[in-house]
Amino acid sequence: MRTTLPKILCIGCGIIMLLQFFVPLEFVQRDMLQWVNDSAIVVATFGLAIGLASLVHVHSARIRRRARGWGFSVVTLACAVVVAVIGLLKSDWGPVVAHSQRYDILPNGVTAGVIEVTHTLFGYQTETAFTNTLAAAALVPLQQRTVPMFDWFYNYIMYPLMSTVFALLAFYMMTAAYRAMRAKSWEAGLLLAAALIVLLGQVPVDQFVRLPAIDGMSLFEWLKLRILDYPNTAAKRSIIIGVALGGLATSIKILTGIEKPYLGGRG
């Protein structure tokens, strides 16, 4: 039973997803699909609780053992607690971190939304977004509310942190490109030549050097398009076809019970 029920559920859900693609009946398209999607949301919610338990367990153990870098675990747990508490607060509870006002402008009978946000924590200056400055005089406040502190934390702490990590990619791309573009063999040389042409095609070289034009494009831009449209697209499509077949084969193996990663490989 421990392995049979999950197998039945897996095969059943797989068949429902297949049916909803081919069968246009409302019962299948709406109700059955909705049931599968709702079940996925329920599983994900329970999964989140398990994930939180794992996070607390692993990091509290590291702090207890004074494992290397245990200070990071303290920060992680403290942040998890603070964000969870802030997320549980009602939007009008806790310190006011920002006000927002919503207006409707009525220039010549056309209605447009405007949101004005005034941040009060840490001295952020007023941000105002006008869709039509000419009609600003006709602003009529429709709604005034306190911005939830959770949103403020996400927008002004989490988001900049994520952007910072994302920005590191530019430097990593440069080091990766440096490694890739060393012509150690004739294949690597070919790659280097193609990369140089594409790079030159991306920038307006013809503004500095007089180059022949083909089809109304500069030489390097034309070459870049030829490289991207033909050999590059052909290679990408061959990988995509292989991936699609591999995905289909894996799906069939899971649906027929040949492979059962969701059961820990047993059964």
Q: Which is nearer to another protein, 124 or 154 (by Cβ)? A: 154
Q: What's the min distance (Å) between Cβ of 95 and another protein?
A: 25
Q: What's the min distance (Å) between Cβ of 149 and another protein?
A: 18
- Between CA 149 and CA 171 the distance in angstroms is 34
**Among 15, 2, 40, 49, which Cα is nearest to 263's?**
2
The single residue among 54, 128, 143, 202 that binds another protein, judged by CB under 8 A, is 54
DSSP 4-68: HHHHHHHHHHHHHHHHHHH---HIIIIIIHHHHHHHHHHHHHHHHHHHHHHHHHHHHHHHHHT-T
The single residue among 9, 38, 72, 142 that binds another protein, judged by CB under 8 A, is 72
**Among 56, 59, 79, which Cα is nearest to 67's?**
59
Contact 16, 39 (CB under 8 A): no
Q: Which is nearer to another protein, 172 or 208 (by Cβ)? A: 172
Binding mask 172-211 for another protein (x = CB under 8 A): xx-xxx-xx-------------------------------
Q: What's the min distance (Å) between Cβ of 236 and another protein?
A: 5
Binding mask 96-135 for another protein (x = CB under 8 A): ----------------------------------------
| Tokens of residue 168, six digits | 């590191």
Q: Residue 117 contacts by C-beta under 8 Å, 6 or more apart in sequence?
A: 98, 99, 100, 126, 127, 128, 147
Residue 129 phi, psi (nearest 5): -115, 110
Q: Which stretch binds another protein (CB under 8 A): 125-133, 137-145, 154-162, 217-225?
A: 154-162
Q: Which is nearer to another protein, 8 or 258 (by Cβ)? A: 258
- Cα separations in angstroms, 42 against 37, 39, 45, 46, 175: 9, 5, 5, 6, 43
Query: Which helix (DSSP H) or strand (DSSP E) does residue 168 occupy?
Result: helix 159-180
Q: Which is nearer to another protein, 71 or 204 (by Cβ)? A: 71
Among positions 22-41, residues that touch another protein (CB under 8 A) are 22-25, 40
Q: Is 131 helix (H, G, I), strand (E, B) or coil?
A: coil
The single residue among 169, 193, 196, 214 that binds another protein, judged by CB under 8 A, is 169
The single residue among 162, 190, 196, 214 that binds another protein, judged by CB under 8 A, is 162
Is 251 an interacting residue with respect to another protein (CB under 8 A)?
Answer: yes
Contact 126, 79 (CB under 8 A): no
Residues at the contact surface with another protein, assessed by CB under 8 A: 21-25, 40, 43-44, 47-52, 54-55, 57-58, 61, 68-69, 72, 158, 161-162, 165-166, 168-169, 172-173, 175-177, 179-180, 236, 239-243, 245-254, 256, 258-259, 261-266
